[in-house]
Structure 1
């Protein structure tokens, strides 16, 4: 059941609008239930009510994460999205009944059901993106999706209070608005094209702990996928802690009311929305994992600085926006990489595993804030400082784990912004399945130039003099560059071939930089040996051609690098430079 869409109304636009209304409903209904329970039981029970609402909403994401991932892989994700929208209409209608009877059990039951359909919706929502948009737009679309989600959080927080006020706490009328939103969400979801199941023969499993562990084990085989899933969970831990801690922080440090403290979190949500949108735009066609360590450092700085300026409202507000801005740059590459790096048959389960760990982080945040505040008797500002230090420590770990991604990100952005760089033959860079790129290396600058123009996950094999090889091995390992003793390149030897084959068989494209100062006979022998041995690994070979002005002889490495800013640089993939 699909209608003919106007050109501007794409499948992604329909998905984005549908999830916006779904996230809007989640936040409105949660807060309406909180307001109803406080009205019935009194404001003195507000902390207990908030904790209970939070727990009831999170539990389905833990219980049904694995099931939701299996369903997203087994069936069409577009169909699952439409089915969960229909469920939302039924559940929101039950919510109106629960508010009419003003029963706590009914309200919490409906909240549990609503969170369950959201848990089923999540893997399909994120997993369908690579199926409905071009690969080069995945980071941008994730940025837009995350920004729209936080816009829904902001608007939902406002509308829940607004509806309660204009209806004079007539929660039946206010909750009827949620039914209307569910109808709109269902209607716009009709614009999402029906996608094919990616693992139609996979059995749907209900053993969620065993399945989550098995999914994470498979994720460890893919470079960066497992750490991205784990570090992504830390983001939700930070977000949940900030949301819970911001109200006591506002009351203790800024002498604001609880309601005014709630509005402070909106500053963080606005920052996340802006940061997510910018991260998607700045990523372009790449998934920029290098943003994650840099964003984690920014988050750590913002949280620790809040402690020192806790009494200055005019500093706190921009710090909260900065916190959210960095959060957006952290979240977007995490979501985009899980989608693009996951095999099609495992995409839904990987998203579900990430959801499971993330919502486990939400629960840990609740325990952590209680431990710091009730057991250690620390202030909310001190809590921000401790979490900030933890995040700064994490950023150091991330910098070591993803050092190559940070370096390649910085080189690429510097190259495209500040170099006179022209790249030709981009259409030849279709690296799925993997390919071998072969190019000349007159100096280390050629490797830098190629890094600025190629996708970030390519492995580099470069020739190094034996005396330098021993000194720089750790440095090269950190940057995921495979150094080979230069003697093995004349002719090409078994250590080089072994590394090439291993990386290609793992599904990684390889860039082999060969020394141009080899004797003519050795070069001919080198090429013959390479062609012979690569017959065992059937991959396309793409030649690289580089044209640049060499720096003066005898200058240092810094001067050599800055020579790239002074002269035109041309790189061609496939065809020779004219």
Structure 2
């Protein structure tokens, strides 16, 4: 293979996890659980709607809202307790206990369905909510124990894919098994509930062991006090808590759409119940597609830059759904084919699909980030805090929708409100955690102007102190390296580049280290070396451009001795990296000043080649320069 035409490492599909015991049984177990939850909930709603149960209140709407509240209530009451349990005990055993309890709960559900007993049916729904609240912290807490960091985004994407497809098919099955059964028989739905619960338990027995994260943890049982303490302690971790708030906001937004789809399909679009199912399916498939695409768009890393991208899509297509909503119904009781044939229907469906798609881009990296950044002995409690706030935000979404619609607003106006609110909330979150927006700008650069061909990235140490050295071709070299290297990088850069508007925001957020020549600013020069030493002492990855300047002619300049001073203070491995193909780009000095010329190439192919780490005692300026030239080859 020539140096100027590096072959990229073939991407490994996240779907390979579905063939591996460390993931596949877990995936099927959680999918069957989500399916069963939705079969039962929607069967209950269908029973109420078809009036096959004689309730004393006679108020179907009240019963439906009571059912929704009873399912959510356990998340408030027990999430703090279950988060502690999930951290204290071995997780695969807890999953099996959860699935055994599901068999018992579904048995009670079958009895309740057979007796047509509304109190018993609602009690079973409460128990299902309790079982789901128990399963949640274990469900997400076990992933980092069975997956590597590079697999977290793909694994979470598959989990969200399975969850939303299970919600879709569970909703359809629960409704149809009641609505289409002869004389309202509950036998078909009862059989499905029991078979799925039993299958879930036997599949869960194949899940590998996941040792306790905090076996010495003392469990405290006071629900209210521990819930407050859990939220308070989690809020002390800025990135984790802001990620939880961002996830909770997504569930707020999603709950608004999902709650309004039945009436939106019937009264606004003029469709039948099958059109509602089509909207639900389109939304769910969109989220599923976005979830699985995250891994491909993240280059096997936890790419939080997708979160702003997802938020922008949620607002943009949320607004377009408002504009696409017809002023008058497209018909009356339209079947699916009649609806699809109506003018404007495809635009509505496309907007709903894209809202789901960008929702997947938004939510999957957030779950992966929580799993990556939480201390292992507190991860399940962080997930429990997430469940509490998710439930709270879904309740608030219902209250907002009731208030807005009670004031006479239309469903389209409610959708407009939440789309605008999404933009406001996104701006707040990204202001609180600028790392999200910083990573988005880097991700955008790499995926719009360039196609990066990477070679031997595995040679960069995954942990521990090391120094990356690279040739300096353009003003965005640091952004490209930071976007392609999977672990955080501390860059050392000339202070005038560090202070460039917009780029300065990225560099400051990434904790880059500005440096000046000794003759320009001796204090800044010395301060930079102190900060480099401190970064290496803390085990960080440092990146230095040893030429000390961006090339004027495409050729490498002689290396400066600053790196030798760093190695003298902290002898760590040095990893050479060659950047190829950037000479002549918008951000290089070829053909005029950088930034002040038209880009000559869109989606330009560039190369990034990593060499074998060099021990500190073997590094000389001549040896390092020779190695960089060899890696770069003739491709400028």
Q: Tell me the CA shift for residue 290 of structure 1.
A: 1.0
**1:565–1:60: structure 2 CA closer, same or farther, 3 Å change rule?**
closer
Deviation readout 1:180-237 (Å, 9 max, x if unpaired): 1100001111111011111111122334555555555655666732321111110111
What's the counterpart of residue 3 of structure 1? none
The answer as to 2:439 corresponding to 1:408 is no
Taking a change above 3 Å as real, the CA distance of residues 534 and 360 of structure 1, as seen in their structure-2 partners, is: farther
SS in 1 for 2:578: strand
For 1:321, which of 353, 363, 374 is the aligned residue?
Answer: 353
Equivalent position of 2:21 in the other structure: 10
**Per the alignment, in what secondary structure is the counterpart of residue 409 of structure 2?**
coil
2:489 to 433, 458, 464: 458
1:547–1:570: 8 Å Cα contact kept in structure 2?
yes
**Counterpart-to-counterpart distance in 2, 1:234 and 1:217:** 18
Q: Secondary structure at 1:96's aligned position in 2?
A: helix
Structure 2 match to 1:131: 145
Match of 2:213 among 166, 176, 198: 198
* Equivalent residue runs for 1:130-529 within 5 Å: 130-164=144-178, 165-208=180-223, 210-211=225-226, 215=230, 224-257=239-272, 260-311=275-326, 312-374=344-406, 376-398=407-429, 400=431, 401=434, 402-414=436-448, 418-419=451-452, 421-424=453-456, 426-433=457-464, 435-439=466-470, 441=472, 443-455=474-486, 457-465=488-496, 469=499, 475-476=505-506, 479-487=509-517, 493-500=525-532, 509-516=541-548, 523-524=560-561, 526-529=562-565
The 3 A distance-change label for structure 1 pair 346 and 47 is: same
User: Secondary structure of the equivalent of 2:184?
Assistant: coil
- Give yes or no for contact 2:462–2:487 (8 Å, CA) kept in 1: no
* TM-fit CA distance, 1:564: 9.8
Residue 72 in structure 1 maps to residue 86 in structure 2: yes
Please report how far the alpha carbon of residue 116 of structure 1 lies from its aligned counterpart in structure 2 after TM superposition: 0.7
Unaligned segments of structure 1, at least 5 residues: 1-5
Q: Please say if residues 75 and 388 of structure 2, whose CA atoms lie closer than 8 Å, have aligned partners that are also in contact.
A: yes
**1:31-46 equivalent positions in 2, closer than 5 A:** 31-38=42-49, 39=51, 40-41=53-54, 45-46=59-60
Deviations 1:476-529 (A, max 9, x none): 4565352514136989844324544666677764434455359x99943x3354
The equivalent of 2:567 in structure 1 is 531
Asked if structure 2 preserves the Cα contact closer than 8 Å seen for 1:84 and 1:121, the reply is yes
Shift of 1:422: 4.1
CA contact (8 A) 1:287 1:333 kept: yes
SS in 2 for 1:571: strand
Query: What TM-score, normalized to structure 1?
Result: 0.87
Query: 1:242–1:507: structure 2 CA closer, same or farther, 3 Å change rule?
Result: farther
Cα pair 1:293 1:398 within 8 Å, conserved: no
Taking a change above 3 Å as real, the CA distance of residues 506 and 46 of structure 1, as seen in their structure-2 partners, is: farther
1:557 and 2:590 equivalent?
no
Q: CA deviation at 1:354?
A: 1.3
Q: Does 1:104 align with 2:118?
A: yes
How far off its partner does 1:437 sit? 3.4
CA distance in 1, matches of 2:81, 2:458: 39
In 1, the alpha carbon distance for the partners of 2:268 and 2:545 equals 57
Q: Is the 8 A contact 1:75 1:200 kept in 2?
A: yes
2:68 is matched with 54
Gaps of 5+ in 2: 1-16, 327-343, 551-556, 585-589, 614-626, 631-636
Q: Please name the residue that 1:569 is paired with.
A: 607
Q: Deviations over 1:351-372 (max 9, x none)?
A: 1111111111111111111111
Deviation for aligned residue 1:247:
2.0
Deviation at residue 280 of structure 1 after TM alignment: 2.8
The answer to whether the 8 A contact 1:279-1:329 is kept is yes
Structure 2 residue matching 1:444: 3-state secondary structure: coil
- Mark the CA change 1:471 to 1:380 in structure 2 (over 3 Å): closer, same or farther: closer
CA distance 1:105–1:559, change in 2 (3 Å) = same
CA RMSD, aligned part only? 3.3
Pairwise CA distance, 1:333: 0.8
Cα distance between partner residues in 1 of 2:363 and 2:211: 27
Give the aligned length.
562
Q: Residue 511 of structure 1: SS of its match in structure 2?
A: strand
Return the alpha-carbon distance in structure 2 between the equivalents of residues 418 and 364 of structure 1. Answer: 43
Return closer, same or farther for 1:377/1:454 CA change in 2, 3 Å cut-off.
same
In 2: Cα distance, 1:189 partner to 1:347 partner: 21
Q: Which of the pair is proportionally richer in helix?
A: 1
- 145-154 or 398-407, which deviates more: 398-407
Secondary structure at the aligned position of 1:11 is classed as coil
